[in-house]
């Protein structure tokens, strides 16, 4: 049996409308003479012939892959119309619940976030400008009294990770201020040495 066999065969033609009323008796006669006389098809699981007029296609839906393979072999031996084109569909049309589906299971709570590397600054970027100093204002969602009382608090907690913020007692600890730091060189990147 062919490994690409599905339960559906698609019939089409470049020369004529395969869904026309004059074609249906020809296909029915061909099925009676070549398929139904050789293969037992029960009324509980019939072969279905569907005409898709908008797509100019005819579908033969078989009860299983064995019947579908037999119909395809008969089509290859004796074609009902000389300009008929036929092939299997990509997937089965019917839900075969007896076939065990073995899909890859994704592990729970394991995620990988893919991001692009940082882009280079635009050509008009001014390296001589200093950054603004950090804001010492309390965020709207964290009242100042919570920041003053707690030494640490959880800002975000999720299955991926937790962000904990540790607070300090005094914002002005006497160290050098960030607003006075100036650099004469542009920032370096790990991608600078890569030749394009």
- CA atoms of 169 and 150, how far apart (whole Å): 10
Q: 1 vs 116, which has greater pLDDT?
A: 116
Instruction: Identify the CA nearest to 93 among candidates 52, 136, 135.
Output: 52
The model's pTM is 0.48
Percent over 70 (pLDDT), the chain: 68
Residue 131 pLDDT grade (very low, low, confident, very high; cuts 50, 70, 90): confident
**Structure-block tokens of residue 192:** 């600078």
pLDDT computed for residue 161 by the predictor: 84
Tell me how long the chain is: 196
User: Checking DSSP bridges between strand 8-13 and strand 84-88, what pairing results, if any?
Assistant: antiparallel
For 8-88, CATH gives 3.30.70
Q: How many CB atoms lie within 10 A of CB 118?
A: 9
- Report domain extents, the chain: 8-88, 137-169
For range 75-91, the mean pLDDT: 87
For range 64-93, the mean pLDDT: 87
Please name the residue that has the structure tokens 């890569």.
Answer: 194
| pLDDT, averaged across the chain | 76
- CA atoms of 176 and 184, how far apart (whole Å): 19
């Amino acid at each position: 049996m062919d490994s690409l066999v599905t339960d559906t065969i698609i019939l089409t033609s470049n020369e004529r409308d395969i869904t026309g009323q004059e074609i249906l008796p020809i296909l029915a006669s061909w099925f009676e003479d070549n398929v139904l006389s050789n293969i037992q098809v029960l009324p509980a699981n019939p072969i279905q012939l569907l005409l898709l007029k908008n797509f100019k296609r005819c579908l033969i839906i078989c009860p299983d892959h064995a019947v579908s393979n037999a119909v395809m072999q008969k089509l290859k031996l004796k074609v009902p119309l000389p300009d008929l084109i036929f092939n299997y569909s990509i997937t089965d049309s019917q839900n075969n619940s007896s076939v065990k589906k073995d899909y890859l299971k994704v592990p729970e709570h394991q995620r990988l976030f893919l991001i692009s590397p940082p882009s280079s600054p635009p050509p008009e970027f001014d390296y001589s400008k200093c950054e603004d100093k950090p804001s010492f204002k309390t965020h709207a969602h964290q009242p100042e009294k919570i920041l003053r009382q707690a030494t640490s608090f959880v800002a975000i907690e999720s299955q991926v990770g937790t962000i904990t913020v540790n607070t300090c007692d005094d914002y002005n600890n006497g160290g050098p201020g960030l607003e006075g730091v100036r650099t004469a060189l542009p920032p370096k990147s790990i991608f600078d040495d890569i030749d394009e």
